[in-house]
A and B are shown apart, each in its own frame.
Chain A
Amino acid sequence: MSTQLAAYTTSTGEAFQFWVLGTVAVIGALCTVFMKKAVHSALCLAGTMIILAIFYLANGAYFLGIVQIVVYTGAIMMLFLFVVMLVGVTAADSLKETIKGQRWLALVCGVGFGVLLFAGIGNASLKEFDGTGQANANGNVEGLASLIFTKYVFAFEITGALLITAAVGAMVLTHRERTERARTQRELAEQRVREGKHVPPLPAPGVYARHNAVDIAGLLPDGTPSELTVNKTLRERGQIRDVSAEALGDLRALEQRSEERLERTEIEPTTFKRPEEASK
């Protein structure tokens, strides 16, 4: 009775696990889609994948469960995070749609496709579940190995070739051949002198010691920030913090405090206006 039942249903523990972790997995998937920042999406996806690994284990695919964690969550998702860092970790996407009707079409197609899949699964009479007990009798890894190296050996070899090709391809795509000799320090210095601008080294960021960080632009004598002072990568990502206005505000506050200390009459409000946020 119980063995027959096992074919139809699962244990209560597994059901509980499914409903709890399944909900989390769906939430994780939704977050992957709807998070503004790519790094958040990646983390949510990693969570979903770990849950999927647990589901693999629950379904008797022990080897795959471990591989899922090690390869997918461990390697592939880390690769994702790596690229996200490279491309712009904090650059947030606008979720505003730019193609007319794209969102509606996507939703209609998605919902329609989902409904169809559900209908298909519901229609299929999937009552008989043999369970993997017999197949895993000699151990899951051994079972897989005997299949991979006998029945699927050609596919296995070909996927190996595919992986090699992909690795070479990735190298070709990202590698840039240096077409000219790298210029020496001396040549660069001579070029700077010849061009006549920025003869000295570029100014350092974070002047006015309060804000000493690489992402803060140094201020020029007239109080405007100088883009030259920050790293080029940060400039391109738009990750420069502008503190020029803060400095003026601080100056005004300082003047006001000294007025109060010296008990002078209130002077006219300064013509200094707090400038609008410059870059954002």
Chain B
Amino acid sequence: MNPVNYLYLAALLFTIGATGVLIRRNAIVVFMCIELMLNACNLAFVVFSRMHGNLDGQIIAFFTMVVAAAEVVVGLAIIVSLFRTRHSASVDDASLMKL
């Protein structure tokens, strides 16, 4: 098996995640789909690292994880405060430029 298949898998996961972002309305699920996209990218980075025989790809993946963690923290905080004011976690409810 050619390791390129990992890249195909990463592309597939990324596409699934992106489509999920577009389809789902629950903000939490949307966030999970974004995490899925990030993970797909990470997989690609790791595979590139293997391809080139150096560790830079893994470093980038590592940084991605850190940034993803930060993003999740802030994003979930936003969702929680949104839920507090609207009693809803649907992204479609926030369709006006006011509460």
Q: Which residues of A are in contact with B by a Cβ distance under 8 Å?
A: 8-10, 14-15, 18-19, 22, 25-26, 29-30, 32-33, 38, 41-42, 45, 48-49, 52, 55-56, 59-61, 63-64, 67-68, 71-72, 75-76, 79-80, 83-84, 86-88, 93, 95, 97-99, 102-103, 105-107, 109-111, 113-114, 117-118, 121, 126, 128-136, 140, 143-144, 147-148, 151-152, 155-156, 159, 162-163, 165-167, 169-171, 173-174, 236
A93 pairs with B25, CB closer than 8 A = yes
Compute how far the CA of A15 lies from the CA of B9 in the bound complex, rounded to whole angstroms: 13
Determine which of B11, B12, B26, B92 lies in contact with A98 in the assembled complex, contact meaning CB atoms within 8 Å: B92
B80 pairs with A174, CB closer than 8 A = yes
Compute how far the CA of A276 lies from the CA of B30 in the bound complex, rounded to whole angstroms: 35
B32 at the interface (CB under 8 A from A): yes
A49-B39, A55-B43, A64-B46 given; A117·B11 CB < 8 A: yes
Q: Which residues of A contact B18 (CB under 8 A)?
A: 109-110, 113
Q: Looking across the interface, which residue of chain B has its beta carbon closest to that of A152?
A: B59
Q: A126-B7, A130-B51, A159-B66 provided; 15 other pairs, C-beta below 8 A?
A: A18-B5, A29-B13, A33-B24, A41-B32, A45-B36, A49-B39, A64-B65, A80-B32, A83-B76, A86-B83, A102-B22, A110-B19, A135-B53, A156-B63, A173-B77
Compute how far the CA of A162 lies from the CA of B25 in the bound complex, rounded to whole angstroms: 28
**Interface SS, B side:** helix
